Structure 1
């Protein structure tokens, strides 16, 4: 249950996160429906459960197997926009680099660091779950935070204000009923007033030139799960893995589409399926060889995550999400 103690934890942890470390090494560099759980067709070789394959055998299968038309069954549903969905994702791929940040912007911040960002995102995952918001809201929130921090220096006491205001902006964009302002004041334990949140909202929007529409990693995940013929557990596993990437500053080196593909790759291996498939090769436009390096870094970050960042594991340990956080994920690939 979310209480004022959680709000105090968010602000206290950010405040006590320690001095900034500018020497940390990092590598240079439209909305869609929620994932559906397509039934498994046992006649299809790429969805028949069997032991995980090596990268080499998977590489052979992805180029030789049958490619399915994943939109054929939805052609009569106008909400699926099957006539335009391929063009939509082509556009998403063309603009995702422009709406993403790379893990270099902390060099310009003098009062905050990567650890504080991770603590803030961990707190926001908990707040997002409490308000029962749609997944896109969380991904947009984190994107707004990163893009704003990439352009504006923020003091340590104001970082949580940036986070909660970004949640408000994302909620107004994505939700039918966004959280009320008084509720956002409450979850911050009244550390900020309504007027401070509204002033920060104007500041952030002007700082981003009111550019809020982004192709998020979750948007790509929805498409890739459909191409993967994912069952319910694979959907939950992929979402668990992808949510975990939000806390990692270093994973900003990868594009949203790459992180979504890596989440599907890891989930398929955990489910005992072929690592990659011809249908995924076509619709994700990534080969297994393209994805495997990203997946390794995702698992490396997951295994080395701070022990005090518990929100994602707590969320996906519940039966509502299939308790997939208890699944053993191998990084032997």
Structure 2
């Protein structure tokens, strides 16, 4: 009895330090490269907010001329639009997601008879690093894709045969029993939740399409830096356009609208959502916490909290599955190229005239033709599941090809840099044709 009481007294006098088991979250300011704020000083609310932003405003043409003499920061913007640059924090050079093969690991041997019995298959020997934003949301069967099997044979004999892509009833993620009903509902919903096609001319007097492109380009960089899913990016752009459809905004608050829509989309889509202070920080603290929350409330009230919106990314996943057909192993290059073309469409205000499902179908069409120009890019399976014939997509496909071929402005390079990486199979570096044969659109 005395020994137990003495031990209890000792434990009270000298308590053993216990680790804090509360969940801690690293601030986003500890992640990412240091970014130069998004433009000129016209977006600065107070002179004392940030002394680093008090530089003299330089005309856009002068900035471009100076950029040829001095090295340009990674995310510097020649805005002159009133939208402030994003200052993202420094990041260590180490990449925690780099896949390093273990030297002692023995890979299973492949029977030569399997390879010899499939003369039409070629193996892409380049190791591919998996990316969470792709593998999680694009239905990849493995998080680490070491080898992708590409079909090099012409499947022309299957062009008129419709492949059932909903035959896998065992995978609950595919929702095979309800997939057709789901996408019919999405096709009906995309019509109701599209922005006006001419809001820039009718409503917005202080901003233009170029400012919108630069804002979206910045949102692409933020989403990539903080590993937000592609769905979050597409939703944020949709919210921006729908809000601008009925609300005039000045150029000083355009970035505030963009970051508020990104925060709303992240709350809707992400598992781990950045904090409000983090979103303020990525604007270099140009906007206060209360200002961001007020803009968030304004957007939600205008949208009437109707946040479930079908985007081109929703349709792209299913259309790529239809393009895969009977192939058991998806083509990673084809998926990355289609995603690249679809993401390019976000930058162009004129692409709002096309429905998201049409943009997704056109991206698959163009990606198929770029990779296999000797084959028909459209078949009965794609026509059945997209509900589009080739002749219906001609204008949209040609606009996507124009976006792919045109020389990018120095202010909108984020998407091309993103898809020039190895993990995206260097999709942005693929050589695109200057024109398309007219016979592709006759059917």
Q: Which residue of 2 aligns with 1:250?
A: 350
Q: Which residue of 2 aligns with 1:34?
A: 137
- In 2, Cα distance between the equivalents of 1:277 and 1:6? 47
Answer yes or no: is the 8 Å Cα contact 1:261–1:284 preserved in 2: yes
2:207 is the counterpart of 1:112:
yes
- In 1, Cα distance between the equivalents of 2:35 and 2:332? 34
SS of the residue 1:163 aligns to: helix
Q: 1:157 to 1:84 in 2, by over 3 A?
A: same
**CA displacement, residues 182-218 of structure 1 (integer Å, 9 cap, x when unaligned):** 2111110111011111111001100111111111100
- Give the deviation of 1:102 after TM superposition: 3.8
1:324 to 399, 424, 427: 427
2:366 is the counterpart of 1:271:
no
SS of the residue 1:168 aligns to: helix
**CA displacement, residues 47-68 of structure 1 (integer Å, 9 cap, x when unaligned):** 65459xxxxxx9xx88x62111
- In 2, Cα distance between the equivalents of 1:102 and 1:263? 22
Gaps of 5+ in 1: 19-32, 52-57
Q: 1:6 to 1:69 in 2, by over 3 A?
A: farther
- Give the deviation of 1:305 after TM superposition: 5.8
- Give the deviation of 1:158 after TM superposition: 0.2
Q: Which residue of 1 aligns with 2:250?
A: 155
Alignment of 1:183-332 (within 5 A): 183-229=278-324, 230-272=330-372, 273-304=375-406, 306-308=408-410, 309-332=412-435
**CA displacement, residues 14-34 of structure 1 (integer Å, 9 cap, x when unaligned):** 85149xxxxxxxxxxxxxx72
Higher relative contact order (CA 8 A, sep 6+): 1
Q: Which residue of 2 aligns with 1:85?
A: 179
Alignment of 1:135-150 (within 5 A): 135-150=230-245
- Give the deviation of 1:9 after TM superposition: 7.6
Q: Which residue of 1 aligns with 2:36?
A: 5
Q: Which residue of 2 aligns with 1:22?
A: none
- In 2, Cα distance between the equivalents of 1:213 and 1:92? 10
Q: 1:305 to 1:91 in 2, by over 3 A?
A: farther
Q: 1:124 to 1:193 in 2, by over 3 A?
A: same
- In 1, Cα distance between the equivalents of 2:354 and 2:426? 27
- Give the deviation of 1:323 after TM superposition: 1.2
Q: After the TM superposition, which of the residue ranges 287-296 and 199-208 deviates more from structure 2? A: 287-296
Answer yes or no: is the 8 Å Cα contact 1:2–1:127 preserved in 2: no
Q: 1:257 to 1:157 in 2, by over 3 A?
A: same
Answer yes or no: is the 8 Å Cα contact 2:205–2:248 preserved in 1: yes
**CA displacement, residues 96-131 of structure 1 (integer Å, 9 cap, x when unaligned):** 111112430012111111110000000000000001
Answer yes or no: is the 8 Å Cα contact 1:4–1:189 preserved in 2: no
- In 1, Cα distance between the equivalents of 2:222 and 2:78? 16
Q: 1:75 to 1:161 in 2, by over 3 A?
A: same
- In 1, Cα distance between the equivalents of 2:355 and 2:365? 15
Answer yes or no: is the 8 Å Cα contact 2:162–2:384 preserved in 1: yes
**CA displacement, residues 251-294 of structure 1 (integer Å, 9 cap, x when unaligned):** 00000000000110111011104311111011111111112221
Answer yes or no: is the 8 Å Cα contact 2:419–2:426 preserved in 1: yes
Question: Of the two, which has the highest radius of gyration?
Answer: 2
1:95 to 182, 185, 189: 189
- Give the deviation of 1:304 after TM superposition: 3.5
Q: 1:2 to 1:103 in 2, by over 3 A?
A: farther
Count of equivalent residues? 305
Q: 1:200 to 1:242 in 2, by over 3 A?
A: same
RMSD between aligned alpha carbons? Answer: 2.5
Q: 1:316 to 1:256 in 2, by over 3 A?
A: same
Answer yes or no: is the 8 Å Cα contact 1:8–1:189 preserved in 2: no
